[in-house]
A and B are shown apart, each in its own frame.
Chain A
Amino acid sequence: MKDKILVLMSEIAAENGVQLRQDITDATVLLDSGLDSLGFAILVARLEEEVGFDPFTLMDEPVYPQTLGELVAIYDRFLPR
């Protein structure tokens, strides 16, 4: 899941002419990653096309990610078993 997210982030950044940080790790704060708000909205939409769900619509209580690691964990949590 993490690899898929990173690949999509790179694609979306390239399509939109924005520069992603080179040193993105699990601890990178998403707001500091270089991808902007539109980029993240597109990322969630593209992930929904690829994995078949938007985890933010499946939560009973809203839990939003601060870091890349938290974003990956949210998607992992809702992956079909």
Chain B
Amino acid sequence: MTRPTSRFVPVEAEIIERIRQWRNSDRVRSNMLDDTLISESQQLAWFRGLPLASDRHYRVFLQSGRPVGMLYFAEIADGECKWGCYLGEESVWPGSGLLLEIAALDYAFGILGVRQLVAEVFSDNPAPMRLHEVFGYRKVDERECRTKSGVQRTLVRFEYLQAEWLEARQEVLGRLPRAIQEAAALIQFA
């Protein structure tokens, strides 16, 4: 065994209950704008709507074949989209969050072909904020918002241009530990 493979595959019916459990966990839900619990019927409706939704892409993160999290893109329009991700499983290869960051940029600019990628993070969630800064996102805005359950929080907006990533990718990956660089070479999209 060397480095884990990372495959990002479309959502299949067999996994939607596991995704719902991930999504409903306190660790994941507390960092979502929609922080309410998702019911089985809501999850089924979401899944059934996926083929019709051209403005959203959801991919399951398979780490060496095992589902461990989600990578998703929303509001895909006019050369721009927002993205988000989470690790649903807690037992993951150390550094998996970095692989999600790399996959998000490669998928958005290489597969979706958008010109700008937007990430929004709550200001009290330091881990993704720091990773976005490490990768070279520009912090452009902070605004107050309310989550779906009514909690007031501050949302920080980050942006990244396609041209910036194409120019910076090699340099950014070069600053990361060697294991991450090797694992990044094993990222695949389906």
Question: Interface on A for B, CB 8 Å cutoff?
Answer: 16-19, 29-32, 36-38, 40-45, 54, 56-66, 70
Contacts and interface: CB of A to CB of B under 8 A. Distances in A.
Nearest to A41: B95
Contact of B98 (A17, A19, A37, A57): A37
A33 B101 CA distance: 20
Interface residues on B, range: 20 to 34
B1 A30 contact: no
Given A32-B27, A58-B1, A38 B130 contact: yes
Contacts of B90: 29-31, 66
B182 to A, nearest CB: 9
Nearest to A29: B90
29 contacts: A17-B130, A18-B127, A31-B87, A36-B126, A36-B127, A36-B130, A37-B94, A38-B95, A38-B97, A38-B131, A38-B134, A41-B95, A41-B98, A41-B180, A42-B177, A43-B94, A44-B94, A44-B179, A45-B178, A57-B1, A57-B3, A57-B179, A58-B1, A59-B1, A61-B1, A64-B91, A65-B91, A66-B90, A66-B91
B67 interface: no
A62 B64 contact: yes
A16 B97 CA distance: 16
B97 A64 contact: no
Interface string B126-141: 1100110010000000
Contacts of A42: 177
A32 B125 CA distance: 12
Contact of B131 (A29, A37, A62): A37
B88 to A, nearest CB: 11
B1 A37 contact: no
